[in-house]
Structure 1
Amino acid sequence: MKFIVILAVLLLLFYVLEKLINKFLGVEKKKISDTPGKKIDQWGRGIILVIFLTILWSTVNNDSIFIKKLFWMSYLILLGGFQAVLEYIYLKNTKQYITTVIMVIVTLIFIFNMELFIDL
């Protein structure tokens, strides 16, 4: 029950943080799927997913919390970085990629310090 409450609070905090960052930077949220980069986005996300699903098999069997955190952090960095690069290329004249980078960094900080919030 504690985990569900913490997860709900974190999702709410991430939502509010994203809205505040967008308002501060004056970002009007747009989708990459409305640009010519739609296919690149779909293929890139698919390739990243397949790579990490194959690596997930060996990660699940490992007892080390550090390895599991490293797996999720590297997945987040690769996926968030890919999204930020596509936003930078295809969503010109917006600063939406800055919001993406900030949200990835905040999430990485949370994942790295997860033991402080959740008993593992």
Structure 2
Amino acid sequence: MDGMPETVPAGASLVLAVLLALMGLGLLVAGRTGSTGRLRRNGLVGIRTGRSMESDESWRTVHRTAAPWLYAAGGTPLAAAVAVLFVRQPVAFLAVVLGSVALLLVFLCLGVWRGTRALPPRA
């Protein structure tokens, strides 16, 4: 191929696997702490929409409802982290990484949507 290596360097695979694993673990922790109510309303971690930030009860409802989707979003990069350690062909490697990020975003959007829909209508 023109300018593309025949295999992905092992060091690049390892670095990306660690980054993906950390991302996945962060999402799993956010999902767990949100589902148990230990994640307090804040401006840094969690689902921060206008509706979820209105009250502590709204925050808890959104995160409790979104938790399964956050777990799925966290599991996606963890699976990709394992996969990139074994995939050496550059196109397949790129497909694993981009596919996992796309799936992660779908799960996150579904979680936000489901969590927000669980709130009672505004008066």
Q: TM-score, normalised by structure 1?
A: 0.41
More helix by share: 1
